[in-house]
Structure 1
């Protein structure tokens, strides 16, 4: 029933897809942490040289956020993905395909298939390319993470508790989704 679906479901339906996502994209973003962030919930991401937290985000193929999980930046994407994919499976049992970058490759692909009944597909950078390249499927989650950074509060993590950080990111996602829904309604005249 249209009145019972979520705003994200309504956007998906108006864009010509089903109200539930079956294919999703996962990625993470390391952000610096303010001094208010406790040492137990921050870490050092050696690859990005950032002392702070890592935001793991799952979006559908339209870029609508489905799940956010915040961890210390020192936790690898592959290790965090175990918990992210488990939560995702509980919240959205209809999902079957997960697109990710090569950081999620390895044993996680087999584990996701065997224990969670998810097909994890990784997208690799072309070997001869340098600089930024929009990779197939992955650009959607990169765009969503960039949209989150437009909210000044999300340029750095200030929250003492991880749950507060996750809630504020979810709030920003709701704001973005609502804005997209309003724009779709204005375009259709409804």
Structure 2
């Protein structure tokens, strides 16, 4: 009997500017939630990108991720 779902693969999280230029990339295992992947991407960049003012994400990135961004990155939604 299988108790858990085995998920193979990777998730790629990218941070781009308004012109589409790549600023950062984070690659996580497929079992990682988008929330955790977003934090893994942004956490090391909160001090490195002081001019960052706005983050757009998909609708399911809200909730606890949005709360984390407000507390740790000093950004509004």
TM-score in terms of structure 1 length:
0.35
Larger Rg: 1
- Hey, what's the Cα distance between the residues in 1 that align with 2:40 and 2:27? 11
The equivalent position to 1:110 in structure 2, one of 63, 67, 71, is 67
Specify the alignment match of 2:22 in structure 1. Answer: 65
CA deviation after TM superposition for structure 1 residue 89, in Å: 1.3
Moved >2 Å (runs of 4+): none
Q: How far 1:102 moved relative to its partner?
A: 1.4
Shift of residue 104 of structure 1?
A: 1.0
Aligned length: 72
Question: Tell me, what secondary structure is at the counterpart of 1:93?
Answer: coil
Structure 2, unmatched stretches of 5+, are 1-5
Name stretches of at least 5 consecutive residues in structure 1 with no aligned partner: 1-42, 45-50, 121-190
- Per-residue CA distance 1:23-80 (angstroms, 9 max, x = gap): xxxxxxxxxxxxxxxxxxxx72xxxxxx211111110111000000111011011111
**Higher helix fraction (1 or 2):** 1
Tell me if the contact between 2:13 and 2:25 (Cα under 8 Å) persists in the aligned partners: yes
User: Contact between 2:15 and 2:24, CA under 8 Å: does it hold in 1?
Assistant: yes
Q: Secondary structure at the match of 2:56?
A: strand
- Residue 169 of structure 1 corresponds to which residue in structure 2? none
Q: CA deviation at 1:118?
A: 1.6
Task: Measure how far apart 1:115 and its partner are.
Answer: 2.1
1:87 maps to 2:44: yes
- The TM-score with structure 2 as length reference comes to 0.81
CA contact (8 A) 2:46 2:72 kept: no
Secondary structure at the aligned position of 2:50 is classed as coil
2:33 paired residue number: 76
